[in-house]
């Protein structure tokens, strides 16, 4: 039931039809905040980095991260909605909001081919 509620809220929170999700402005900040601490060019957890769009699209040891035009089959979306392991972010870490998930879902549906650099990870 919790999953169904999350799914419904994610779809409700989707940007309006025709709205554009900009990777640099909308998606990269989410990845930077919730993913880049482990999935960066230094740590490469799961052999995956989210520091550039190209690296995000490359994926990691579990395969392609995003299936352009098919958010439901994207490992990124499955992981953040807890539909597939590894669950991301890990349960002990701050979790994405339904709006964040909706933005990632909308962005993966676009299947854009941008090469946008995310601010590089720097250890705290």
Does residue 119 belong to any structural domain of this protein?
A: no
Is the CB of residue 118 less than 8 Å from the CB of residue 36? yes
Whether the full predicted model's pTM is greater than 0.85, yes or no, is no
Residues contacting residue 112 through CB under 8 Å, at least 6 positions apart: 23, 53, 68
The boundaries of the domain holding residue 17 are 2-110
User: What is the SS3 assignment for 117?
Assistant: strand
- Domains of the chain: total: 1
> 85 to each of 76, 90, 122, how far by Cα in Å?
10, 10, 27
Can you give the pLDDT at residue 68?
A: 80
pLDDT by residue for the chain (124 residues), tens only, comes to 555 545 454 554 445 545 677 888 899 999 999 999 999 999 999 999 999 888 998 999 998 898 887 888 899 999 999 999 999 999 999 999 999 999 988 877 665 555 444 444 444 4
Give domain status of residue 95, yes or no: yes
Three-state DSSP at 114 gives coil
Residue 120 maps to a domain = no
């Amino acid at each position: 039931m919790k999953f169904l509620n999350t799914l419904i809220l994610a779809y409700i929170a989707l940007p309006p039809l025709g709205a554009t999700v900009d990777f640099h402005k909308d998606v990269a900040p989410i990845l930077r905040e919730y993913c880049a601490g482990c999935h960066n060019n230094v740590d490469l957890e799961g052999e995956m980095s989210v520091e550039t769009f190209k690296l995000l699209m490359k994926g990691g040891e579990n395969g392609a991260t995003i299936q352009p035009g098919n958010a439901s089959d994207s490992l990124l979306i499955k992981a953040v909605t807890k539909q597939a392991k590894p669950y991301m972010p890990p349960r002990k870490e701050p979790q994405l909001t339904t709006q964040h998930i909706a933005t990632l879902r909308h962005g993966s549906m676009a299947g854009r081919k941008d090469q946008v650099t995310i601010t590089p990870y720097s250890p705290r």
